[in-house]
Structure 1
Amino acid sequence: MKQLFIFIALLFFCGDQLKAQFNTGRFGSMGGGGGSSKMQRDTGKHDHEPDTLTLTYRYLGDPVYYSIDSSVADFQTNYLKVPANYVTLGNTGSAAYNLIYTPIMKAGFDAGFHSYDVYSNSHKDARFYYTTRPYTELQYLVGSKQEQVIGLSHTQNRTERFNFAFDYRKINSPGYYRTQNTNHDIYRFTARYQSKNKRANTYMSFYYNKINGGENGGLKYDSLMTDPNFKQRKTLPVNLGNSTSQAYAFFGGGTLPVKSSYRETGFLIQQQYDWGHGDSIHVNDTTDYYRYEPVFRVQYTFNYQNDDYQFNYAENNPDTAYFTKHYNFIPGDTVTAKHQWKMISNDLSLIQFPVRGNQGHFINLGARFESISGTFLDADINFTNLAVHGEYRNKTRNQQWDFSARGEFYVVGQNIGDYGIYGMLRRHINDVWGDVRLSVNNVNREPSYVYKYFNSNRDAWYNTSLAKQNTTQLQFAADNAKLKYSLAVNYFLFTNYTYFQDYYHSAQYGSLFNLLQITFSKKFNIKPFAWYLDVAFQQLHGNGPLNVPTFWTRNRFAFEKRLYTNLNLVTGLEFKYNTSYYADDYSPLTGQFIYQNTQKISNPLPDIAAFANFRIKSFSAYIRAENLNTFIGNNNYAAPLYPYNNFAFRVGLRWWFIN
């Protein structure tokens, strides 16, 4: 707890230095429209300064502006940043996958290492801000077994035309079981610049994901969990890393005998030059505002990515049984695997805006050239791709209609024949009935490269018989801010579904099968009490090698009230439950979740947590007691031989400052 007290002291010191005591209302929640979020300031000593903050952001290529959410209702989304429907291997920062199945719907090259994606940054989720005041946010979490999470975000407009933003997040958790340490450092930097005449725009995105995940291969036996000789979970025998000592260090990560190490670097710069109409708007006697409305745009995008995926095993007295059983080789003292990929792409697009003053209505035509190289322990590979793409988007200025149609086709190169087609129609009916959306998405793609080839210092294998896999998604969705619900109905069709059939080898299911998926979220209110309901139903048709729980739900029963003047309190109980199913197993060497149909995961009790979340002005805190179900039953399981933690206690702080 020493780190917690130090951090709190630093926060109070920073708050005094930045004079960051604010009387804040809730930010607008993330959603459509171009509304700004306002933050009311106590201006008792600084009446000459502006008393509001306008802070919005958008994503690359998306005309919609969003606002930051400062609510304290959901610990998973607003603080932990791992959705509640994700399953980890029992420790914060460990490999994870979505219980509500989400296939990869993107054509083109893909390396195939996605088990840690939920913690990583990408260009797709990079935020480009506009703010009237410098904004800083600090986050800190401390939990049982020395679990710690640190977050820092900052954005400011240096001028009206230039903004930059920086994000850093550290996840460090030794976990309850041996060889389970996680130590992640996640960085992001974004910037945007607009020329004085507003004809030229530049966007820059950089990220660096440093992932270190301990891999223990799960417990030796399930029966160990109820063995009275193993009261301390750290003493339970696991499949990997038993015989080698491990050291814990917060910043260095310590030493681990078995771990996955991912290093992902991305740099993107997008430059735009517009032709159109500009004029000056007279605001008052001393202020004129220059407005520029583009009609035609030339856009160039440069993208560089360097992704390094490694597995390292070094044990003094190795247990050969695990490797012999699952990988069919004897490990010796070390086992290593390495896949490193570098990609450079250049994209040129021509964009037409048919309606003056509406940048949500455009036609985009372009081409992209990709150069990709791979480095393994025993070989190198190089190839190129040429893809053409187009999009028509019409988001009307009255926000009533939103139509999008886009396509991408690989015409030359390694991924020739890959394509993606997407169409969407959204209609805002009214404030009572909300939004309704229909969409269709079809992707034909080369299987991820890890399905075709994998290499370690002990063995290598190839699968040259894989055909292109085809996935179609049909969706109906409805969102209603007034009635506080969202609904999505997805229907997936799969052909040539590619998967790992065991710990080391891939396979493909050639026949057609489909998946029906319904998700629903709703907030029920009888003030001061609230019930947050999240539920998902999934039904597989056919014999495809895909296992999902039929039913998943999260229920939060909360007492919500504003006490005194500034205290916003949300406290209650949370229950998460899913029906029994053949949960995916996990292969540490390949870093993949694998299909299995021999061991069904059946957790008789839901995961139970008690929470007390509150916000006072610009300060938020989250207090949670988790895995309360272990007091009345055995530990639940995430996957075969991977149990969840015992009872855990967490305290999280979130504090934002405006200078």
Structure 2
Amino acid sequence: MRQFIIFFLLLTGTGAAVQAQFNTSRLPVGGGGGGSMQRDTTKHEHEPDTLTLRYRYLDEPTDFMLDSSIYDFNLNYLRVPASYSTLGNNGTAARNLIFTPRMQAGFDPGFHAFDIYGFNHQNARFYTTTRPYSELGYLIGGQQEQMINLMHTQNRGQKFNFSFDYRKVNSPGFYLNQNTNHDTYRVTANYNSQNKRYHILMSYYLNKFNGGENGGIRADSFLHKPEYDRLRLIPTKLGGDATETATFFNTVIPVKNAYQEASFLLRQQYDWGRGDTVHVNDTTEYYKFDPVFRVEHTFTYTQNTYRYMDTEPDSTYYPSRYGFNILPANLGNDSVLSRHQWRILSNDLSLMQFPVRGNMAHFIRVGAGFDNIIGEFMRSSVTFQNLHIHGEYRNKTKNGKWDLQGRGELYLLGENAGDYMAMGTLSRYINDLFGNVSLMAKNVNKEPSYIYRYFELNHGKVYRNADIGKENITQLQFRADNRRLQYNLQANYYLFNKYTYFKSFSESEQFTGLFNMLQIIFHKRVNVGSFFWDADFAFQQIAGNAPINIPTIWTRHRFAYNGQLYKNLNLYTGIEAKYNTPFYADDYSPVLGQYFYQNTEQFSNYPEVAAFVHFRIKSFTAYVRAENLNIFVLDRNFYAPSYPSNNFALRVGLRWWYIN
């Protein structure tokens, strides 16, 4: 805690906390190229405490603004959507109850249980800002749960910007041996040369995930025995009765999955086009450059290490689930260990043309990439390469009404030869009444993730499936976003061929037949004066006997009062309830870090209820939540077989903004 306090004092000493007034102008940011750069030769002795801050994602030409709303605690603060289900503790393996298949061609190691908590290049933000901007967040919850969020970005002159993000999740959990301790870091930078022709984008992230694995509780009957009212007394299948050491910056976890993901990306762009100096008046002028042709090179180096460690294994747990025996404790230490490390070196060269001067969202891109991939395991290693080509056409009109995109990728040679992805989208803003409507079609043919084909442990154990072929997934989507009527509607139709899944703790399988799924996702806000009803609804229906476990209906409702009190207090307070219909929830394999299909144990869960008070006073935001209120009147829910929900807990999350 002392380190946290020191950092807090240093941060608050650099600037005053003032209210961020976000400018919604749509000017280009670093890496977008082109656009205009204002140079004001007048001097201002006193600048207003306002901020113009915007950002872009790596391959997206559209600007975005920071979201300062306080409605959604899960999305805005935890950064884990409400539809995600964990094993009960913040930071444990998570999956989305609104089914979202992975639709990317190319190589994939297959370890995704902690993805929702980490950074990647796709969600990296490249900022431009008129003032240095910082965010500080801190959360404390039940059973000593703590979180820290830090973010800072600033421009150094008009040509260079950098940003830094840090996130800490430390949660001992309500049940024994379920500690989590995650540290994630991200640094981004973007640079534009003085003549606006040369651009650099840099992204680096480091994810350190430490997820405690207890295998679930030994028997559900413990939940109804008075002597186990304190959930931490209930014996678990893994970890034994070992005493856990948990401090905020140093946590010892007896059985865990320890993942470390690090990646560095450097993108360089050089443009040919036309530049002009535009004189506004005697003291202000703009330099405007419009690219016509661009050469782009992207270098990426990724090193991911995935480990499972149980140094004092339970001799009764592994034989029936994983097929190997554990020596008794009196005969020595018989640890269960696995280690999979992947190193990927990628180079990509692209050529881009901008047909319409001044419209950076209208372009044609063609390119090729080469990947060198090395995998190292406990006793073996593999090396292979991939060569792929890609192309994209994007046309977002200047008036913002039409947005057309077509994109494709094909793997010509290497381990993933024959993989491809093809997608097209068409969006049209109709008017204020009907909002924005879009259509999308996507087809992916891909080699299943490597973990479905090979997983290695000590004890001389290798899980291998050489009979898995490429799987094919088609998605058709209709989407409507209407601000005036305050609703969002999304309808997805999926068609699966050779769907790959885990059927047990260690066995993968491929469903050889075709099946399809219809999915409708709907959000609607209804307000009467200052009283609001936010309804989230998802309907999912599978045609065919497919090995996918999903609830037919998932829904969340928030009934709240929302208003501004006094001069600066924005208040959002009420009740939140989540519910899903009964279904055969997936089981979980700790050693592989994978959810797997089971059809023997069905769960009929009760609504999860929370009361909340969210408020913002200028640059300070607070989230106060009383969660799992249903425990007082209803039976306990289960997230997976042997993984019950927690007790009542109080959470307090704080966030400050600083303009330096």
Give the structure-2-normalised TM-score. Answer: 0.95
Structure 1 contact 26–70 (Cα < 8 Å) conserved: no
Q: Match of 2:294?
A: 297
**Whole-Å separation in 1 of the counterparts to 2:581 and 2:26:** 38
Q: Match of 1:203?
A: 201
Q: Match of 2:657?
A: 656
Matches within 5 A, 1:341-360: 341-360=342-361
**Whole-Å separation in 2 of the counterparts to 1:98 and 1:550:** 13
Q: Match of 1:546?
A: 548
Q: Match of 1:416?
A: 417
Q: Match of 1:43?
A: none
Structure 1 contact 446–468 (Cα < 8 Å) conserved: yes
1:555 to 548, 551, 557: 557
Residue 277 (structure 2) pairs with residue 280 (structure 1): yes
> 1:223 deviation in Å?
1.3
Question: Partner amino acid for 2:118?
Answer: S
Against the structure 1 CA distance between its residues 17 and 190, is the aligned structure 2 distance closer, same or farther, given a 3 Å change threshold? Answer: closer
> 1:461 deviation in Å?
2.1
Question: Partner amino acid for 2:343?
Answer: K
User: For residues 517-543 of structure 1, what are the alpha-carbon distances to aligned partners after superposition, in whole Å with 9 as ceiling and x for unaligned?
Assistant: 000011111111000110000000011
Question: Partner amino acid for 1:647?
Answer: F
**Whole-Å separation in 2 of the counterparts to 1:17 and 1:395:** 40
Structure 2 contact 23–51 (Cα < 8 Å) conserved: no
Q: Match of 1:308?
A: 305
Gaps in structure 2 of 5+ consecutive residues = 30-43, 328-333
SS at structure 2 position matched to 1:489: strand
Structure 1 contact 56–131 (Cα < 8 Å) conserved: yes
Residue 320 (structure 2) pairs with residue 322 (structure 1): no
Question: Partner amino acid for 1:610?
Answer: A
Matches within 5 A, 1:128-147: 128-147=126-145
Q: Match of 1:585?
A: 587
> 1:9 deviation in Å?
10
SS at structure 1 position matched to 2:148: strand
Q: Match of 1:446?
A: 447
2:74 to 68, 73, 76: 76
Q: Match of 1:42?
A: none
SS at structure 1 position matched to 2:360: coil
Question: Partner amino acid for 2:503?
Answer: Q
**Whole-Å separation in 1 of the counterparts to 2:212 and 2:23:** 38
**Whole-Å separation in 2 of the counterparts to 1:212 and 1:362:** 42
**Whole-Å separation in 1 of the counterparts to 2:189 and 2:98:** 34
User: For residues 293-323 of structure 1, what are the alpha-carbon distances to aligned partners after superposition, in whole Å with 9 as ceiling and x for unaligned?
Assistant: 00000000001110000000011xx432221
Q: Match of 2:32?
A: none
Matches within 5 A, 1:156-171: 156-171=154-169
> 1:245 deviation in Å?
2.5
**Whole-Å separation in 2 of the counterparts to 1:58 and 1:13:** 29
**Whole-Å separation in 2 of the counterparts to 1:156 and 1:556:** 36
Structure 2 contact 22–65 (Cα < 8 Å) conserved: no
Matches within 5 A, 1:50-449: 50-253=48-251, 255-315=252-312, 318-332=313-327, 333-449=334-450
Residue 495 (structure 2) pairs with residue 498 (structure 1): no
Matches within 5 A, 1:496-535: 496-535=498-537
Structure 1 contact 15–21 (Cα < 8 Å) conserved: no
Structure 2 contact 522–536 (Cα < 8 Å) conserved: yes
User: For residues 569-615 of structure 1, what are the alpha-carbon distances to aligned partners after superposition, in whole Å with 9 as ceiling and x for unaligned?
Assistant: 00000000000101111000000000000101111x20000000000
Q: Match of 1:39?
A: none
**Whole-Å separation in 1 of the counterparts to 2:28 and 2:370:** 37
Question: Partner amino acid for 1:596?
Answer: Q
Against the structure 1 CA distance between its residues 204 and 25, is the aligned structure 2 distance closer, same or farther, given a 3 Å change threshold? Answer: closer
Q: Match of 1:463?
A: 465
Structure 1 contact 485–520 (Cα < 8 Å) conserved: yes
Against the structure 1 CA distance between its residues 47 and 623, is the aligned structure 2 distance closer, same or farther, given a 3 Å change threshold? Answer: farther
SS at structure 2 position matched to 1:467: coil
**Whole-Å separation in 2 of the counterparts to 1:168 and 1:635:** 34
**Whole-Å separation in 2 of the counterparts to 1:25 and 1:350:** 38
Against the structure 1 CA distance between its residues 344 and 10, is the aligned structure 2 distance closer, same or farther, given a 3 Å change threshold? Answer: closer
Q: Match of 2:615?
A: 614
> 1:325 deviation in Å?
1.5
Q: Match of 2:539?
A: 537
**Mean CA deviation greater in 161-170 or 219-228:** 219-228
SS at structure 2 position matched to 1:118: helix
> 1:353 deviation in Å?
0.4
User: CA-atom RMSD, angstroms?
Assistant: 1.7
**Mean CA deviation greater in 265-274 or 328-337:** 328-337
**Whole-Å separation in 2 of the counterparts to 1:248 and 1:190:** 32
> 1:17 deviation in Å?
5.0
**Whole-Å separation in 1 of the counterparts to 2:135 and 2:165:** 9
Structure 1 contact 26–69 (Cα < 8 Å) conserved: no
**Whole-Å separation in 2 of the counterparts to 1:217 and 1:117:** 20
SS at structure 1 position matched to 2:250: coil
Structure 2 contact 22–52 (Cα < 8 Å) conserved: no
**Whole-Å separation in 1 of the counterparts to 2:5 and 2:384:** 52
SS at structure 2 position matched to 1:407: strand
SS at structure 2 position matched to 1:466: coil
User: For residues 275-303 of structure 1, what are the alpha-carbon distances to aligned partners after superposition, in whole Å with 9 as ceiling and x for unaligned?
Assistant: 00000011220122111000000000001
**Whole-Å separation in 1 of the counterparts to 2:138 and 2:45:** 32
Give the structure-1-normalised TM-score. Answer: 0.95
User: For residues 253-284 of structure 1, what are the alpha-carbon distances to aligned partners after superposition, in whole Å with 9 as ceiling and x for unaligned?
Assistant: 2x222000000001000000000000001122
Structure 1 contact 34–66 (Cα < 8 Å) conserved: no
SS at structure 2 position matched to 1:629: helix
Structure 1 contact 143–649 (Cα < 8 Å) conserved: yes
Q: Match of 2:40?
A: none
> 1:460 deviation in Å?
0.6
Structure 2 contact 23–52 (Cα < 8 Å) conserved: no
> 1:228 deviation in Å?
1.6
**Mean CA deviation greater in 231-240 or 168-177:** 231-240
**Whole-Å separation in 1 of the counterparts to 2:531 and 2:21:** 20
**Whole-Å separation in 2 of the counterparts to 1:88 and 1:540:** 23
Q: Match of 2:481?
A: 479
**Whole-Å separation in 1 of the counterparts to 2:161 and 2:335:** 48
Question: Partner amino acid for 1:119?
Answer: Y
Structure 2 contact 277–285 (Cα < 8 Å) conserved: yes
Q: Match of 2:641?
A: 640
User: For residues 185-206 of structure 1, what are the alpha-carbon distances to aligned partners after superposition, in whole Å with 9 as ceiling and x for unaligned?
Assistant: 0000000000110000000000
> 1:25 deviation in Å?
5.5
> 1:181 deviation in Å?
0.3
SS at structure 2 position matched to 1:205: strand
SS at structure 2 position matched to 1:18: coil
**Whole-Å separation in 2 of the counterparts to 1:386 and 1:9:** 49
Q: Match of 2:33?
A: none
SS at structure 2 position matched to 1:321: coil
Residue 570 (structure 2) pairs with residue 568 (structure 1): yes
Q: Percent identity?
A: 55
SS at structure 1 position matched to 2:226: coil
> 1:331 deviation in Å?
3.0
**Whole-Å separation in 2 of the counterparts to 1:499 and 1:115:** 14
Q: Match of 2:34?
A: none
Structure 1 contact 476–489 (Cα < 8 Å) conserved: yes
2:490 to 467, 483, 488: 488
1:601 to 588, 600, 603: 603
Gaps in structure 1 of 5+ consecutive residues = 37-45
